[in-house]
Structure 1
Amino acid sequence: MATSLKNLSQYSDKNIIDIKSKKFGILVSEWNEEITESLFSGAVDTLLKHGAQKENIFRKNVPGSFELPLAAQWLAAMEEIDAVICIGCVIQGETRHFDFICDAVANGITNVGLKYNKPVIFGVLTPNNQQQALDRAGGKHGNKGDEAAITAIKMLGF
């Protein structure tokens, strides 16, 4: 969680494996595109920084965060994909819709990782407002995309 004491773009270099031959599927929600594009850029930059080959990073777009679990399942089912990173942003609104979407997405992504026994990473922001999202998509709290990518790398080294 990003707070004044923790920046999403700061992480330990412990347990970083060689990922030159690893293949990453990155799913990007088109909803809240300004945020998700920044998260995607952070994830790709971090993967490349740690040795991933550009040709081994595959991007697919989905309409919204709710669609991330099914798309993650499709990618995770592909033997050549080593890890899936799910990028999305659901901003709190005036109704309970936020609660249902966030719960479904979190549970769905978790279940895909367990089903396919490979890293399926939750890179979904669930802020209260647009400013909190911007703060976590390359703003004052770093970039959740960086965190998602380094999590994928470290889980591959488990």
Structure 2
Amino acid sequence: MAGSLTSGSVESSVDLSKKKFAIVVAEWNSEITEALYSGAVESLLSHGVKKKDIIRKNVPGTFELTLGALWQAEEKNIDAVLCLGCVIQGETPHFDYICQAVAYGITEVNIKTRKPVIFGVLTTLDKQQAFDRAGGKHGNKGEEAALTAIKMLNF
């Protein structure tokens, strides 16, 4: 995985044992999102985050990640939010609308709350590509989302 965020650990100038993370997980495509969640949690724990400081919230689908992220980011004790979802392209333009709306929504939550809100959403052409990015040959994008949150807290 040379060149990816998962190719090594992240040095942190921030005491991560004092930071609280919310992870908002889409229930749709759960076999993928559960793998992303596991990767994110393992990464946070390995960087010194306490298990009690990782809060999980489920939403029905990827579209709902934006509102779930906003609710979590508005909590004063939450330092960063990870949004984990998976949208697999089908035969209709639904894929395009969902992906664009969620990317825009998560960007807006970042700006509104001035906290790191991380886009950990897979947007793949098929289920195999999703599995490849949820712990398969392309690593785990949940782990990358956690590392991105840590890097943003160090910004």
Identify, as 1 or 2, the structure richer in helix. 2
Match of 2:105 in 1: 108
Superposed counterparts of 1:43-58, under 5 Å: 43-58=40-55
Partners in 1 of 2:94 and 2:8 — Cα distance?
Answer: 33
- Offset at 1:10? 1.8
- Offset at 1:101? 0.1
TM-score, with structure 1 as normaliser = 0.94
CA contact (8 A) 2:10 2:150 kept: no
Superposed counterparts of 1:16-27, under 5 Å: 17-27=14-24
Which of 126, 136, 140 is the aligned partner of 2:137?
140
Partners in 1 of 2:92 and 2:2 — Cα distance?
Answer: 31
SS at match of 1:90: strand
- 1:130 equivalent to 2:127? Answer yes
Give the gaps of 5 or more residues in structure 1.
Answer: none
- Offset at 1:17? 3.2
- 1:66 equivalent to 2:66? Answer no
Runs of 4+ in 1 over 3 A off after TM superposition: 4-8, 14-17
Partners in 2 of 1:5 and 1:154 — Cα distance?
Answer: 18
CA contact (8 A) 1:17 1:154 kept: no
Partners in 2 of 1:15 and 1:42 — Cα distance?
Answer: 19
Partners in 2 of 1:126 and 1:91 — Cα distance?
Answer: 6
Name the amino acid aligned to 1:44. Answer: V
Q: Deviations over 1:52-102 (max 9, x none)?
A: 000000000000000000111100110000000000000000000000000
The two structures, once aligned, show a CA RMSD in angstroms of 1.4
Aligned pair count?
A: 155
The 3 A distance-change label for structure 1 pair 90 and 83 is: same
- Offset at 1:5? 5.8
Partners in 2 of 1:157 and 1:9 — Cα distance?
Answer: 17
